Amino acid sequence: MHLHGVAAPRERDGEGTRGNNGYMKVYSSWRPYTGTLPYRGTSAGGGYSTVEDLLTFANALEAHKVLDVHYTELLTTGKVDTPGGGKYAYGFGEQLRGGVRCFGHGGGAPGMNGDLEICPQSHYTVVVLANMDPPAAQRIADFIENRLPER
């Protein structure tokens, strides 16, 4: 499994960060989020990735290249009920979408937002990254997932 810089720390230079900047809403205008960035990822987030790398990870997880079948099921199967009707597993949320089991994880902070949803039975994986405040990526992911045909 080759990844292209998952969770690689972003470097700061005198002008802010290198790469694409995100934007957060401050009152009624959009502002760069560079002042809110950590120097590197933490246990609460702050990792950097690409859609391609998240898809590579999802495919490897489903193919049991990350964990064997037993531990993949243990990791991704919900254990605690959530207010939205799904369940929370070990780092993954699990829910039924049109009767199809899906699991994933998403999150964000000012100026950054992402969502990964894996639906093994229907063979769909949805990855959305946004350089805007939450729930930008979640809204797009929900829009896509609610329109996927059942397989």
pLDDT of 136 reads 94
Q: Provide the residue-wise pLDDT of the chain in tens; the chain has 151 residues.
A: 655 554 444 454 434 444 567 788 888 888 887 777 666 667 777 777 899 999 999 999 999 999 999 999 999 999 999 998 999 999 999 999 888 899 999 988 888 899 999 999 999 999 999 988 899 999 999 999 988 887 6
Cα torsion through 49, 13, 36, 107, rounded to 10: 0
Which of 89, 92, 71 lies closest to 80, judged by CA? 89
Task: Say how many Å lie between the first and final Cα of the chain, rounded.
Answer: 27
Strand order in the sheet with 87-88: 80-81, 87-88, 93-97, 100-109, 112-119, 124-130
In the chain, the domains with their CATH numbers are 12-145 (3.40.710.10)
> Rounded to whole angstroms, how far apart are CA atoms 145 and 151?
13
Residue percentage of the chain with pLDDT more than 90: 53
Give residue 22's pLDDT: 76
Place of tokens 């000012």: 110
Calculate the CA 138 to chain-centre distance: 9
pLDDT of residue 151: 65
Listing DSSP states for 55-97 in one string gives HHHHHHHHTTSSS-HHHHHHHHS--EE-TTS-EE-SS-EEEEE
Tokens representing 124 are 């769909």
pLDDT 10s digits, 111-142: 889 999 999 999 999 999 998 889 999 999 99
Flag whether the pTM goes above 0.85.
no
Measured CA angle at 58 (ends 94, 86), to 5 deg: 5
How distant is the alpha carbon of residue 46 from its chain centre? 12
